[in-house]
Chains A and B, each alone.
Chain A
C-alpha cells in the first residue's frame, strides 16, 4: 500500500545519528590507514596476551567491514555473522578436507563470503530499516542451520576441527604461525592491506555516493545515483572484508566454532561498531578492543558477563551515541576551532 508521501519522502535511516558528524581535514584522511596500522602495531605491547591482541585485529576488521555498511551506507544489518562464519568455514574446509595452501584457502573463504553477501544483499536490499535488519537476520539464521545440519562438512555443533595450520609456506620461506609474534604480524599484514583498501574506497567517488545515500536516500536518487546498485555493492564489499576477518579467525584458532555463524556474532559487529563510533574509520577497532577487554574482565567476575556487557552497551547508546572514537574526533575537531 503506497500513499502519496511515502514513496517520495522516505524516512532517513533512523539508526544513524542525524547531527553533523565530526569532520576531520582531508589531509588527515589520507593518513588514516597508515596511522591505524601504526596504532595496531603497538597493541601486543599494551595488551596482557597475544591471543587477545590477535582477536582485536580480527574482530576489528570484522567490525570495520560491518561499519562500511552500517556507518557509511546507513544500513543496519543483523546478519553479518553469515559472512564472518562463511569466511571461516570455507577456509577451514579448504585446508582440512582439500589440503589447499592456507593463503589460497583464505582467498576462497573471502570469495565465498562475498558471493553469499551478493545473494543476501540481492534479496534484502530493497527492504528498509527494521525490515532490512530482520531479512538479514533471517537469512543469516538460514546459513547457521544449514551449517548445523551439514555436520559431515562442518562438524555440526562441535564446530570444524582438524585443520591446524602451523607453518605457511611463502615461496622458499615459511612462516611459523605458532610463534605469537609472527602470527600477529601475519594477521596484521592482511588487516593493514584491508584498511588501506577501505580507506581508498571511502575516499573515492563511490564512497561519496554511499555517504549521500546514507544522508538522504530520496535526494541521492533524484541526483541520479542508482541507490539499489550502490547499496548492493556496499553490501558485497562489507561481506568481503567480514569474510576475510572470518578466514583469519580460522587460521588463528585452528577451529571454527558453530558460534561464528550465530546471531550473537552478528550482534558483536553492531556493538563493537557503536561503542567505537559508527561512520568513523578507526572507531570499530576501538570498539573491538573495548568489548573484548570488557568481555575478558567481566567473565572473570561473573558468569553473567553478557548482562554486564549489555549494560555497558546501553549506557554507550544513551550517553555516547558517537562512540568512543567518534567523541574523541569531535573533541579534536572542536579544539582546532572547526565545527
Chain B
C-alpha cells in the first residue's frame, strides 16, 4: 500500500506559499509570507519566540485557515481545505510538545496513524488485518529504533523514545512534505545526533521543513533557511547567506548566547 517514496521533483515546486497571513482578532501573527519549496530537501525556519513560526506551521498543516493569501501543494489549491485533506494529500507534521496517543502501544500509535489514510469508516474488518498495516507499522517501528518497545503504552516510554515516536507518527502516512516542529526539543547531545542522522536520511526521499532553535545543527543540516521576525519573512537563503545577512544579525543581536548552543 505504501508507494515507493518519490524524490522531490526539481522542476515543479511541491509547496507554494503566496502572501500568506493570519490574524487573531487585532493581532497579526503572520503577514505577507511568500515562498516556494521543493528544490531543497531540508529547509529550516528560524526566528525569535513569537515570530510566527508555529502559526506558519499550523497554516501549512491545515490546523489553522489563513486569513490572507494562498497555499498550493503539488499544484492544488489548499487554502480552504479541511485539515484531514492535508494529511490525505501527503502533508504530515510533528509537534514541539510530544503529542502521541498516550494509552495506545507504540505499535498501535503507528498503525492507527497509517490507517488514517487507508480506512476511516470500516466498522467490520479486523483492524490488525487491514492490508498489511501491522507489518508496515513494525517496519517503521524498527526504522525509528523502537522495535523493542512495540507493545509498551506510549506514555511509559522515555522522553527520547517519545520524540522518535512523534516523528514516526508523522512518517506513518508516508508524506511528501514533512513539517517538523523542533524535533530535537529537550534532547541531549547524543539523542540530537541520532535525530540529525534520521533527518538526513528522511531528507533523501522527501521535502522537510523544520522549526529549530539549535543554530549549529541547523547550519549543518539545512540547505535553506527562512527567518521570521514579528510575523514577517525577513530573510530567505542558504545558510551562508543567512549568516551574512545584516537584518538577521540585528534581530539576533544580544540573543546570540541563547541560540549559539547546540
Contact residues of A with B, CB < 8 Å?
1-4, 7-9, 18-21, 23, 26, 200-201, 203-209, 211-212, 215-216, 218-227, 229-230, 233, 338-339
18 pairs, CB–CB < 8 Å, chain A vs chain B: A4-B29, A8-B58, A9-B99, A21-B153, A204-B125, A205-B119, A206-B121, A208-B108, A209-B112, A209-B115, A211-B104, A216-B101, A218-B99, A220-B101, A222-B83, A222-B92, A223-B113, A227-B84
Interface string of B115-140 (1 = CB under 8 A from A): 11111111111111010000000000
What B residues does A226 contact at CB under 8 A? 82, 84, 120
What A residues does B128 contact at CB under 8 A? 26
What B residues does A339 contact at CB under 8 A? 152-153, 156
Interface string of B149-161 (1 = CB under 8 A from A): 0011101100000
A204-B125, A212-B101 given. 14 additional CB < 8 A pairs? A4-B55, A18-B103, A23-B105, A204-B124, A205-B118, A205-B130, A209-B116, A211-B101, A212-B104, A219-B99, A222-B93, A227-B84, A338-B151, A339-B153
Does B249 sit at the interface, judged by CB under 8 A? no
**B99-A224 in contact (CB<8A):** no
**B116-A206 in contact (CB<8A):** no
**CB nearest neighbor in A for B130:** A205
What A residues does B103 contact at CB under 8 A? 18-21, 215
The 5 closest A-B pairs by CB, nearest first: A224-B87, A20-B153, A215-B101, A224-B116, A223-B116
**CB nearest neighbor in B for A233:** B121
What A residues does B86 contact at CB under 8 A? 224
What A residues does B120 contact at CB under 8 A? 205-206, 209, 224-226, 230
Q: How many A-B residue pairs have CB under 8 A?
A: 131
How far is it, in angstroms, between the C-alpha of A140 and the C-alpha of B64 when the chains are bound?
Answer: 33
The verdict on A222 contacting B112 (CB below 8 Å), with A208-B127, A215-B103 known, is: no
- B87–chain A nearest beta-carbon distance, Å: 3
- B89–chain A nearest beta-carbon distance, Å: 9
How far is it, in angstroms, between the C-alpha of A205 and the C-alpha of B129 when the chains are bound?
Answer: 9
What B residues does A200 contact at CB under 8 A? 123-124
**A203-B127 in contact (CB<8A):** yes
- B110–chain A nearest beta-carbon distance, Å: 10
How far is it, in angstroms, between the C-alpha of A229 and the C-alpha of B173 when the chains are bound?
Answer: 20
**CB nearest neighbor in A for B119:** A205
Interface string of B60-84 (1 = CB under 8 A from A): 0101100000000000000000111
How far is it, in angstroms, between the C-alpha of A203 and the C-alpha of B115 when the chains are bound?
Answer: 13
**B99-A216 in contact (CB<8A):** yes
**A223-B119 in contact (CB<8A):** no
What A residues does B237 contact at CB under 8 A? none
**B102-A215 in contact (CB<8A):** yes
How far is it, in angstroms, between the C-alpha of A200 and the C-alpha of B122 when the chains are bound?
Answer: 11
Does B35 sit at the interface, judged by CB under 8 A? no
How far is it, in angstroms, between the C-alpha of A123 and the C-alpha of B152 when the chains are bound?
Answer: 38
How far is it, in angstroms, between the C-alpha of A211 and the C-alpha of B154 when the chains are bound?
Answer: 14
- A216–chain B nearest beta-carbon distance, Å: 5
How far is it, in angstroms, between the C-alpha of A18 and the C-alpha of B102 when the chains are bound?
Answer: 8
Between A200, A203, A219, A226, the greatest number of chain B beta carbons within 10 A of the residue's beta carbon is seen for A219
**A18-B155 in contact (CB<8A):** yes
**B105-A7 in contact (CB<8A):** no
Does B262 sit at the interface, judged by CB under 8 A? no
The verdict on A8 contacting B63 (CB below 8 Å), with A216-B99, A223-B169 known, is: yes
What B residues does A201 contact at CB under 8 A? 123
**CB nearest neighbor in B for A218:** B99
Q: Contacting A216 at CB < 8 Å: which of B100, B118, B172? A: B100
- B33–chain A nearest beta-carbon distance, Å: 16
How far is it, in angstroms, between the C-alpha of A1 and the C-alpha of B25 when the chains are bound?
Answer: 8
The verdict on A221 contacting B101 (CB below 8 Å), with A7-B64, A204-B124, A205-B127 known, is: no
What A residues does B92 contact at CB under 8 A? 222-223
**CB nearest neighbor in A for B122:** A205
What A residues does B87 contact at CB under 8 A? 222-224
**CB nearest neighbor in B for A16:** B103
What B residues does A221 contact at CB under 8 A? 63, 83-84
What A residues does B61 contact at CB under 8 A? 222
How far is it, in angstroms, between the C-alpha of A225 and the C-alpha of B87 when the chains are bound?
Answer: 9
**A203-B112 in contact (CB<8A):** no
Between B113, B116, B151, the greatest number of chain A beta carbons within 10 A of the residue's beta carbon is seen for B116
How far is it, in angstroms, between the C-alpha of A21 and the C-alpha of B103 when the chains are bound?
Answer: 6
**A2-B24 in contact (CB<8A):** yes
What A residues does B93 contact at CB under 8 A? 222
The verdict on A225 contacting B123 (CB below 8 Å), with A8-B64, A208-B115, A212-B101 known, is: no
**CB nearest neighbor in B for A17:** B103
- A280–chain B nearest beta-carbon distance, Å: 13
**B63-A23 in contact (CB<8A):** no
Between B82, B105, B124, the greatest number of chain A beta carbons within 10 A of the residue's beta carbon is seen for B124
